[in-house]
Amino acid sequence: MGDGVGFGVGFGVGFGVGEGGYSAVRPGTDLSRYARDLLRVHDAVLAGDRPPHRPRALVERSWTRVLGLGLDPSRANARDPVPPGELERRRRASGLAPVAADLLRIAQDAAFLLVVTDADGRILWRAGPTSLRHRADALGFGEGALWTEAAVGTNAIGTALVEAAPVQLFSAEHFEQAQHAWYCSAHPVHDPRTGDLLGIVDVSGPALTLHPAIGALVETGVRLAEAQLWRHHADRLDRLRRSAAHVTGTARGPLLIVDDHGWVAHASGVSARDRIGAPREGVPLGVPGLGLCRAERLPEGWLVRPAGPHTAITATLDLTADPILEVRGEGDPWRTPLTRRHADILALLHSCGPGGLTAGQISHFLYGDAAHVVTVRAEISRLRRTVGALVATNPYRLAAGVTLSVVRV
């Protein structure tokens, strides 16, 4: 970009809405004039010249990323649409499938397009007036197409994925010239149970029809979708509770009935939280109030019960080649590969004994100083997702009842 990818300083006050703002234009803006001004900024920046105004901070960051990818703004870059069969498979697998129809109804009798993507930026559903759908088809903005920054440059969907935040773009804030005739307003949708990103809801239309209420409309739609997903979750737990009634009515002792993500549908003999760790077949599970537990598969969920006071968990960490952990308890033994870092942590906890170690002490052992505490905590969190309740916390140590042997070269 001429003097480098950075935009430099001294181009005057930030253009359009201030940094951190979601809306692309202020209320009362002359959209035609603003679109012409943005086009001059866009063309100057891409030519490596000094723009008359500095773009919004969000747009500046995105253009910098896209220019580093070598995309061509003068043509339609690859959209890579998937075939119909793959599109249907992705729709069925999407966590947004239960609410997609309700979201698309927002676009009934509207003057805009509404699209729903998956977490990869792939368009799964689209609704809107026929005339706009035809214009979008010519742009490659159709079902099955990939709309990430890496694929099509700065656009609300792809930029929202990178920024992990709502994004609205107007006219020449888009990188590709073919997108300048559009506005786009995108908002991420998250799974209310786990916080995981499920996809993006985007409203798009002709640039000069952008209304200040569009952003609020998209946000409201997303909030309603997330609330509906939570209701679907509650309904699933209720079905699980009913389907497991024959178990809860006959089993003795404390127990939990949970779904695949560890959400509790029923608790008996224990004051349970809303959620425990996600169960896995044959993997011991630590549950507050119950201690070391085992999980048994049910048709629609899991039965979680204490492993018993005499249950011993023995494990072998094999370091003679790529690290492998084998665990033996009441059920059949199970094996899992470990990363070298996770194997190092497990071997370290084995050597330190029941007293355990703090995150700072583990950082000293692994990195030579205490500056990597956050990294250590993240690594142990990932390790515990792999090995279940074998590792206890506060301090970090092998859980009570776990015997580990380490086989070295």
Is residue 165 located within the same domain as residue 287?
A: no
pLDDT of residue 21: 53
pLDDT of residue 333: 64
Q: Categorize the per-residue pLDDT at 329 as very low, low, confident or very high, splitting at 50, 70 and 90.
A: low
CA pair distance 394, 385, nearest whole angstrom: 17
CA pair distance 244, 32, nearest whole angstrom: 62
* Predicted TM-score (pTM) above 0.85: no
Is residue 376 located within the same domain as residue 358?
A: yes
pLDDT of residue 392: 82
Instruction: Extract the tokens encoding 252.
Output: 């003795």
| Least confident piece of the model among 158-162, 241-245, 291-295 | 291-295
pLDDT of residue 311: 58
Residue 237 within a domain: no
Q: Categorize the per-residue pLDDT at 130 as very low, low, confident or very high, splitting at 50, 70 and 90.
A: very high
Q: Categorize the per-residue pLDDT at 386 as very low, low, confident or very high, splitting at 50, 70 and 90.
A: confident
Tell which of 202, 232, 262 closes a domain.
Answer: 232
- Domain tally for the chain? 3
Section 156-182 average pLDDT: 97
The answer, yes or no, to whether residue 146 has pLDDT greater than 90, is: yes
Residue 299 within a domain: yes
Q: How large a percentage of the chain has pLDDT more than 70?
A: 91
Is residue 126 located within the same domain as residue 257?
A: no
Residue 10 within a domain: no
* 190-247 pLDDT per residue, tens: 998 888 899 999 999 999 999 999 999 999 999 999 999 999 999 999 999 999 998 8
Tell which of 184, 201, 232 closes a domain.
Answer: 232
pLDDT of residue 354: 87
| Least confident piece of the model among 50-59, 136-145, 150-159, 364-373 | 364-373
pLDDT of residue 2: 40
The answer, yes or no, to whether residue 306 has pLDDT greater than 70, is: yes
353 phi-psi bin (left φ>0, alpha ψ -120 to 50, beta other): left
Is residue 223 located within the same domain as residue 281?
A: no
Cβ–Cβ contacts within 10 Å for residue 366, how many? 16
**Domain CATH for 118:** 3.30.450.40
Identify each DSSP E strand in 263-392 by its residue range.
264-268, 285-287, 291-297, 302-306, 313-318, 324-328, 334-337, 391-392
Is residue 187 located within the same domain as residue 299?
A: no
Residue 17 within a domain: no
Q: Are strands 302-306 and 255-258 parallel, antiparallel or unpaired?
A: antiparallel
Mean pLDDT of all residues in the chain?
Answer: 87
Is residue 263 located within the same domain as residue 162?
A: no
pLDDT of residue 276: 82
**Domain CATH for 354:** 1.10.10
Q: Categorize the per-residue pLDDT at 332 as very low, low, confident or very high, splitting at 50, 70 and 90.
A: low
Is residue 180 located within the same domain as residue 120?
A: yes
Is residue 106 located within the same domain as residue 175?
A: yes
Residue 12 within a domain: no
Residues contacting 28, CB < 8 A, separation 6+: none
Residue 327 within a domain: yes
Section 278-305 average pLDDT: 82
pLDDT: which is higher, 271 or 61? 61
Section 264-289 average pLDDT: 80
What residues make up the domain containing 333?
A: 313-407
Residue 217 within a domain: yes
Q: Categorize the per-residue pLDDT at 64 as very low, low, confident or very high, splitting at 50, 70 and 90.
A: very high
Is residue 178 located within the same domain as residue 262?
A: no
Is residue 262 located within the same domain as residue 224?
A: no
pLDDT of residue 250: 82
Is residue 293 located within the same domain as residue 318?
A: no
Q: How large a percentage of the chain has pLDDT more than 90?
A: 62
pLDDT of residue 330: 55
Q: Are strands 402-407 and 285-287 parallel, antiparallel or unpaired?
A: unpaired
Section 102-113 average pLDDT: 92
CA pair distance 274, 352, nearest whole angstrom: 33
Residue 244 within a domain: no
pLDDT: which is higher, 100 or 10? 100
Is residue 193 located within the same domain as residue 44?
A: yes
The answer, yes or no, to whether residue 7 has pLDDT greater than 60, is: no
Q: Are strands 313-318 and 402-407 parallel, antiparallel or unpaired?
A: parallel
